[in-house]
């Protein structure tokens, strides 16, 4: 079994670059707002430091194809992208439209002079992008749509919360904590009362895992669409982990997203975004979610401290309750194997 203490080595953090490059990442909501503004950013700071720019028409590299200068330094409104180094100009769709001094050059511009467009996929209020997709997004949707597709599509358009939390721990520990419900009665007493833990279930998917939380008698439950695999059951929440670092949580009041960003071998940032159906009635629900997140962060810090032990190694995992953890470690070991390409 893969020992997560291996991820504490700086070289392992660097090796993670490839698996994240090929994954689908949720874009921050402000990057996909409608309007003419150009918005520069990097996908995952400290790991995927790829300079990108979001235009009203496309997601593009924020680097000139001539000599490599960045094009946009701060959010701005422009009708085109112009390189500050030699004046090369691009349309907001990435096409090279001119370059001073190149007017008479035969064959210019060629395909390599245009900015390549980065694929962006829409799903309800969410936008996903990948620098080098290892999986078709349609294949991910095909797996998830029967479970949460309609629920995500009808999720509230009100973005009520956007928070970043810095945690001094390796990103994989946060993922593992998310992937099992065995810890719920010990770490999350309030959440444990809201769910019927004896009916807590798991589904292993190609793109990640699904956890099914049955609502206790007095709790609100999801309004599942006709034909849903769980139709007729009192489901309080559906928790989806999307390989390698994205959590999609569906509740009766809306949608909550956790995106785990590795910053170093023992540092991460967890970005929380929450869309709600009714921002007035959901404030109490959001308070409960915030409490659960704080409890998760605290236990992850304690596990990170335990990673320093030289006397205790990986123990036995439960084949049912921790099936998601087992699958994650196997997939992580394969992705980080020297020479492997996920």
What is the tens place of the pLDDT at every residue in 114-125?
999 999 999 999
Q: Cα–chain-centroid distance for residue 17?
A: 15
Inter-residue contact 151 to 251 (CB < 8 Å)? no
Provide the pLDDT for residue 154.
85
Give CA angle at 283 (235, 298), nearest 5°. Answer: 80
Tokens 């998310």 map to which residue?
A: 178
CA-atom Rg of the chain in angstroms? 22
Per-residue pLDDT, 1? 58
pLDDT in tens, 48-90: 999 999 999 999 999 999 999 999 999 999 999 999 999 999 9
94 three-class SS: coil
pLDDT > 70: percent of the chain: 96
pLDDT classification of 158: cutoffs 50, 70, 90: confident
Looking at per-residue confidence, does 341 or 215 come out higher?
215
Q: What was the pLDDT predicted at 342?
A: 43
- The answer to whether the peptide bond before residue 244 is cis (omega within 30 degrees of 0) is yes
- Look at residue 338 and tell me whether its pLDDT is greater than 80: no
Q: What are phi and psi of 107, to 5 degrees?
A: 80, 5
Helix (H, G, I), strand (E, B) or coil at 279: coil
Whole-model pTM: value is 0.92
Task: Report how far residue 43's alpha carbon sits from residue 233's, in angstroms, rounded to the nearest whole number.
Answer: 39
pLDDT band at 341 (very low <50, low <70, confident <90, very high): very low
Task: For residue 3, count other CB atoms closer than 10 A to its CB.
Answer: 12
Delineate the domains of the chain, giving CATH numbers in brackets.
25-120 (2.102.10.10), 143-335 (3.90.380.10)
């Amino acid at each position: 079994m893969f020992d997560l203490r291996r991820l504490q080595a700086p070289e392992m953090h660097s090796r993670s670059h490839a698996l994240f490059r090929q994954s689908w990442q949720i874009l921050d909501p402000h990057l996909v707002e409608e309007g003419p503004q150009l918005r520069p950013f990097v996908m995952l700071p400290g790991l995927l430091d790829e300079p990108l720019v979001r235009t009203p028409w496309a997601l593009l590299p924020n680097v000139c194809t001539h000599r490599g200068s960045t094009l946009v330094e701060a959010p701005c409104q422009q009708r085109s992208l112009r390189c500050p180094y030699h004046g090369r100009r691009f349309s907001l769709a990435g096409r090279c439209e001119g370059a001073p001094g190149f007017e008479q050059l035969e064959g210019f511009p060629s395909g390599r002079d245009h900015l390549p467009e980065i694929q962006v996929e829409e799903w309800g209020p969410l936008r996903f992008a990948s620098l080098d997709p290892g999986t078709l997004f349609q294949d991910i949707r095909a797996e998830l749509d029967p479970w949460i597709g309609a629920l995500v599509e009808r999720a509230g358009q009100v973005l009520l919360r956007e928070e970043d939390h810095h945690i001094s721990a390796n990103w994989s520990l946060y993922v593992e904590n998310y992937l099992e419900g065995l810890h719920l009665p010990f770490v999350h007493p309030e959440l444990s009362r809201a769910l019927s833990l004896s009916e807590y279930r798991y589904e292993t998917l190609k793109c990640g895992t699904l956890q099914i939380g049955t609502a206790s008698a007095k709790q609100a439950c999801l309004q599942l669409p006709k034909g849903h695999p769980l139709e007729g059951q009192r489901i309080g929440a559906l928790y989806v982990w999307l390989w390698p670092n994205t959590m999609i949580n569906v509740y009766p009041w809306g949608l909550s997203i956790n995106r785990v960003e590795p910053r170093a071998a023992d540092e991460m940032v967890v970005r929380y975004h929450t869309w709600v159906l009714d921002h007035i009635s959901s404030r109490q629900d959001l308070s409960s979610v915030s409490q659960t997140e704080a409890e998760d962060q605290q236990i992850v810090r304690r596990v990170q401290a335990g990673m320093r032990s030289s006397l205790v190694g990986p123990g036995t995992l439960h084949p049912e309750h921790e099936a998601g953890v087992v699958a994650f470690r196997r997939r992580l070991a394969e992705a980080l194997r020297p020479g492997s390409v996920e």
